[in-house]
Amino acid sequence: MRGGRLLLAASVAAAILVTVATTAVLLWVEPKLSKAEAIKTGGLAGGAVVALYALWLNDRRRRTEEARHELESDKVADERFARAVEMLGNDADQVRVGAMHALAGLARSTPRYKQTVLDVLCAYLRRPFTHPAFARRPDDPDQAFHPREQVAPVAGGPAGSAAEVPAGERGPTPEEDRERTVRLTAQRLITDLLPWGRDTDPTLYHLDLTGASVEYLRLEGRRIGRLTARRTRFHGITTFREARFGKPALFSGATFHGRVDVRDARFPGGMSLQDAAFGREVDLRGAEVGLFLHLPPTPPERIGTPAVTPGTRVKADPTGWVLTGGEHATFEHHVEQDGGGGADGTAGDDR
């Protein structure tokens, strides 16, 4: 307040000074000019100073108001995020689905939240989960049960109870089916939030699905930063077609129960398949890997061969693999001899 009064006093003093100086100069330069005209012109010059101060003050107020609105918007966004995350723990599946859509909407309206929302959705998928369909037909869970198949009752328990029946020998409970639907929603929202096509977002968003169980994961055409999928269980068809991974894609110890589509995918940040297991064929036509490639010792049934860019470090014995451009790669058969290399062959690139 005191500073504002000082600026106002200084502006008034400057206006008076400019008015007097302008009038004096005009009378000295133009002796024939009447005093009234000279004073009028000087007054206009002094008024311009006051007008400039008023414009500056108005701009300052506008910026202050914008900053206040931005702070209020941030506060509202933070409250929305907190409420949505809290609702993810609700017992009702429809509430959890609504919370996920609320988080996705927040990520779209407030870009600074996008990575955080992706982290939350990935964390939800990392929660322990199994479904009888995974045990019966892990390669295609949708064909695991006949629609009329019922839950096997437990001896001595309530009708329809499946608590004592092994997952692979019974039908799904309503709770398991509902949770499965929620998880599929989380997967779809993750896919929708990642940039693709003409989306100009240059940010590389990271996904951490370590130890998760996912079904029909579809990331085709998406631009991704780092994908961490160590010990992840992929059920159904997994699609990475035309996806681009700017950072390492780590599938160490992962299990692919169904088919894997990696056609025309790009892994310039490197890829690790250390100890990965494949239950069905892998389509590698047009796939390209750079920086490093760690192959599993037993090649899966596959269509096509991956290409490696010049300078790519290929870890583990590539026996049984045919790598397009392999003459440009450096083959490292013993991981322990790679100074400082990670256990999954990232050689320090998995940061």
> What's the predicted TM-score (pTM) here?
0.72
Cβ(185)–Cβ(175) under 8 Å? no
pLDDT tier for residue 12 given thresholds of 50, 70 and 90: low
Residue 64 domain flag: yes
Contacts of range 262-268, beta carbons closer than 8 Å, 24 or more positions apart:
262/287, 262/306, 263/287, 263/304, 265/240, 265/241, 267/293, 268/244, 268/309
Residue 57 domain flag: yes
Which domain-ending residue is among 36, 55, 72?
A: 72
Residue 161 domain flag: no
Tell me the CA distances in angstroms from 221 to 160, 240, 244, 283, 310, one per residue in order: 43, 7, 7, 15, 24
Whether pLDDT at 102 is above 90 = yes
Which amino acid does the sequence have at 87? M
Q: How many domains does the chain have?
A: 2
Higher-pLDDT residue of 157 and 186 is 186
Residue 10 domain flag: yes
Dihedral angle sign, alpha carbons of residues 123, 125, 126, 128:
positive
Q: How many CB atoms lie within 10 A of CB 54?
A: 11
Cβ(85)–Cβ(103) under 8 Å? yes
| Nearest-angstrom CA–CA distance, 66 and 56 | 15
Q: What is the mean pLDDT of the chain?
A: 81
Helices 35-87 and 114-125: crossing angle in degrees, nearest 10, is 0
- Structure confidence at residue 253 (pLDDT): 95
- The residue range of the domain holding 279 is 203-351
pLDDT tier for residue 54 given thresholds of 50, 70 and 90: confident
Whether pLDDT at 156 is above 70 = no
Whether pLDDT at 328 is above 70 = no
Residue position matching structure tokens 């311009």: 48
Query: What confidence tens digit (pLDDT) does each residue in 283-307 have?
Result: 999 999 999 999 887 888 888 888 9
Residue 129 domain flag: no
Which domain-ending residue is among 72, 92, 117?
A: 72
* Claim to verify: residue 67 and residue 207 sit in the same structural domain: no
Which domain-ending residue is among 18, 52, 72?
A: 72
Residue 60 domain flag: yes
Q: Which of 41-45, 179-183, 260-264 has the lowest mean pLDDT?
A: 41-45
Residue 145 domain flag: no
Whether pLDDT at 153 is above 80 = no
